[in-house]
Structure 1
Amino acid sequence: MGLRRENFKMVGKLGVITLGMFGFGYALVPIYNAICEMTGINVLALAEREVPGQRAALPANTQVDRTRSITVEFDVNTRGPWHFKPAVRSLQVHPGELTTVVYEFQNIQDRTMAAQAIPSYAPKQSAAHFNKLECFCFTQYTLKAGEKKEWPVAFVIDPRLPKDVTTITLSYTFFEVGGKVPAAPQDVAVHTLPVAQPADPV
């Protein structure tokens, strides 16, 4: 009789301990969230929260200089029987801003060709500040007769670009590999701020 009573007591204690552990584990979630919100430790979880109907705001790119805009013009030189053009002729971009433009190409010959593009810039000092992250000019391509391609160019203009440069012209010359490589075009217009002329003395 005494042994059975001791067993009941032990079972009761174990039941209380089990309930206590369950309650403690259940309470850990709101306690953890409260501590994280007060201390700001769980930054990732806070950033992933979304308001219904809205996406969580992403941190701004502090490298973008929004105080100035650069006009980027896209030019092509077609030296062969093919179609080659940019999807847009110009864009307004901020220095430090990642921008992508697409170029369209079609081999209109009745034979396969291997080709590559070479870039040039105007004004010349802009070349050092025009950073291409992705460009079809990095690679040679083999295109079948009549084949069409679309190639992206992803670039960032360095915020250290001189202030007097307000327009950059990016020009591509597409040539067939195996032939004579053409020189970079020299007739690209250069755009800079006009220089004020002194007034004639009265």
Structure 2
Amino acid sequence: MFMFGYALVPLYYRLCAALGIEVASPQVLEELRTVAAAPSRPLRVEFDANSHNDVVAMRPAARTVELGTGTAHKIVYEISNLTDAPVTGRAYPSYSPARAGKWVNKVYCFCFDELRLAAGETIEAPVVFVIDRELPEDIGAVALSYSFYPEEAAPAEGHGGHQAH
């Protein structure tokens, strides 16, 4: 098992290169080694998005995917500025059931950074994540939702258990 986890490092670098993302921290590499060591089970993941004050439109490329726990998956959100002025803000994640967030490990997420969109601009924003194989058996589906807040309307720290994984 240890050797398998250790062998994931080169695979991780190739996956990042293929997905066009920057290499993550050693902590993320350790998380990938850990989740790769346990058996996988099928899981349904649902995606949703909304915007505070409707300044942007956000929608995931897929509303639902079936995947195995412990496997990396990429989903792309399309985010459009609906105004005739630039918009700066941040997307905050939430999970359902709320306790599932503990097992959602985001390797890369547009929610890590502040987003800046020109008037009328549309961007594609990826999320690469792994649902930990230690996810409790009684959780048969996980919903991942993002709420966009313009910087002047950003929620206080700790809003809804949002955190960068």
State the identity %. 35
- Structure 1, unmatched stretches of 5+, are 1-60, 186-202
Matched, 1:174 2:145: no
- Which of 46, 68, 74 matches 1:94? 68
The amino acid across from 2:57 in the alignment is H
What is the rounded CA distance, in whole Å, between the counterparts of 1:128 and 1:97 in structure 2? Answer: 16
Query: Which stretches in structure 2 are left out of the alignment for 5+ residues?
Result: 1-34
CA distance in 1, matches of 2:39, 2:88: 40
For residue 85 of structure 2, give the secondary structure of its aligned residue in structure 1.
Answer: coil
Specify which of 152, 166, 172 is matched with residue 126 of structure 2: 152
Q: What is the RMSD of the two structures over their aligned residues, measured on CA atoms?
A: 2.0
Question: Any idea what the Cα deviations from partners look like across 1:167-195, whole Å, max 9, x if unmatched?
Answer: 0000110110122428549xxxxxxxxxx
- Residues 62 and 130 of structure 1, relative CA distance in 2, 3 Å threshold: closer
1:69 aligns with 2:54: no
Shift of 1:83: 1.4
Code of the residue aligned with 1:72 in structure 2: it is: V
How many residues are matched?
124
Relative contact order, higher structure (CA 8 A, sep 6+): 2
TM (normalized to structure 1)? 0.57
Question: Are 1:164 and 2:141 counterparts?
Answer: no
- SS in structure 2 of the partner of residue 178 of structure 1: helix
Matches within 5 A, 1:42-191: 63=37, 65-66=39-40, 68-79=41-52, 80-181=54-155, 183-184=159-160
- 1:184 and 1:109 mapped to 2: Cα distance? 27
* Runs of 4+ with >3 A deviation: 61-66, 182-185
CA contact 1:64–1:95 (8 Å) conserved in 2: no
State the alpha-carbon separation in 2 of the partners of residues 81 and 62 from structure 1.
Answer: 39
Q: Contact 1:64–1:94 (CA<8 Å) still a contact in 2?
A: no
More strand by share: 2
Structure number with greater Rg is 1
Q: Is the 8 A contact 1:83 1:106 kept in 2?
A: yes
Secondary structure at the counterpart of residue 102 of structure 2: helix
CA–CA separation in structure 2 for the residues paired with 1:169 and 1:180:
22
Question: Is the Cα contact below 8 Å between 1:173 and 1:184 reproduced in 2?
Answer: no
- The aligned amino acid for 2:83 is Q
* TM-score, length-scaled by structure 2: 0.69
